[in-house]
Structure 1
Amino acid sequence: MIKEWATVISWQNGLARVSCDVKASCSSCASRAGCGSRVLNKLGPQTEHTITVPSAEPLVAGQKVELGISEGSLLTSAMLVYMTPLFGLFVMAAVFQQLFGSDLAAFAGGVLGGIGGFLVARGLSPKLASREAWQPVIISVGLPPDLLRVETSSSELSQ
């Protein structure tokens, strides 16, 4: 199971609206200069993702929850997003090459196949996303933010 911590924004009628922060590049590996993720993170704005998950337990705003999603559904969705356009590109490029016998036709077929594969993936995603196994679930719930209080004595501060 893939796990990620999120912050509760609101809870109403058994549905929690949570916000997951986008992770910036880690900058801890040796290949920082050539890291594609690091470059992409610098290009785009740092945003957060807001999703709704079912929660029978009442939650308060600011509370941390651990979300989980199965690896199988994550891998299948990645395959759908990346492989469908790639498959369409190669198949249609080969078909156009055989039909018309030119590189320009193969290029046009590849472009059309890639776009067609993207549209197929886009059409299949809502159907697959509605499956129960593809939905994130709350694994564990942290303490409410107003319940935890840390007090230090002045003698601990002076040491």
Structure 2
Amino acid sequence: MDRDSEAWIVIEEKGTVVAVSDDKIWVQTIRQSTCGSCSARKGCGQGVLARMSDGRANQVRVHNTCGATVGDPVVLGIGESQLLRASLLVYALPLGALLTGSLTGAGLWPGQDLAAIIGGGLGLAAGFLALKLLTGKAEEAARLQPALLRIDVNQAVPEPLVVHQSSTLNP
């Protein structure tokens, strides 16, 4: 589906502009997880990643289509189909190439584990190379990027935390 379609589903994420560079901005987001309300939280890979990251911040560079400035709260969006396509490219392509290489190595030299390992390594390298070639094209890379949807006037920007030396706090 294209962005002009009424059925275009957008996944939104809130963030704060941390830098402006020409016609692009850097937006910092904090990873959100809905794992607490999910019944599959213990067996899910996303849940494991959320626990490991512990709410770390991400920074994303997007086109500044709304005239945002440093400190502005903004909303980023990516189409559901774009996210699915990017996920398939990043995960399935290298994994499929690894399996193909491993099976090819094992098929050419039956009973040789080293052949399957080397074939898998070569297949994985070929998968990453193919990924680089597919996403290296400017038009493909642009389609897989999030977009700045709007400046979020309803989101309050918290005051920065100022930390003083402990000697000034304890007389």
What TM-score comes out, normalization by structure 1 length?
0.70
Give the aligned partner of residue 38 of structure 1.
47
The unaligned stretches of length 5 or more in structure 1 are 147-159
Question: Displacement of 1:103 after TM fit?
Answer: 4.7
Paired with 2:110 and 2:70, the residues of 1 have a C-alpha distance of: 62
1:113 aligns with 2:123: yes
Select the structure of larger CA radius of gyration: 1
Give the aligned partner of residue 148 of structure 2.
138
Paired with 2:17 and 2:93, the residues of 1 have a C-alpha distance of: 35
Question: Displacement of 1:89 after TM fit?
Answer: 2.0
Conserved? CA contact 2:65–2:148, under 8 Å: no
What is the aligned counterpart of 1:66 among 69, 75, 91? 75
The letter of the residue matching 2:86 is S
Single out whichever of 111-120 and 78-87 deviates more from structure 2: 111-120
| Structure 1 ranges of 4+ moved more than 6 A | none
Alignment partner of 1:138: what SS?
strand
The structure-2 alpha-carbon separation of the partners of 1:63 and 1:99, relative to structure 1 and needing over 3 Å to count, comes to same
Single out whichever of 97-106 and 30-39 deviates more from structure 2: 30-39
Give the aligned partner of residue 81 of structure 1.
90
What TM-score comes out, normalization by structure 2 length?
0.66
Single out whichever of 128-137 and 19-28 deviates more from structure 2: 128-137
Single out whichever of 121-130 and 93-102 deviates more from structure 2: 121-130
* Count of paired positions: 146
What is the aligned counterpart of 2:19 among 6, 10, 13? 10
Single out whichever of 113-122 and 127-136 deviates more from structure 2: 127-136
The unaligned stretches of length 5 or more in structure 2 are 1-9, 157-171
- Identity percentage of aligned residues: 29
Question: Displacement of 1:19 after TM fit?
Answer: 0.9
Alignment partner of 2:143: what SS?
helix
The structure-2 alpha-carbon separation of the partners of 1:129 and 1:50, relative to structure 1 and needing over 3 Å to count, comes to farther
Deviations 1:54-113 (A, max 9, x none): 224432333221111223322222111111122212222222222111251234322332
Give the aligned partner of residue 155 of structure 1.
none
The alignment's C-alpha RMSD in Å is 2.9
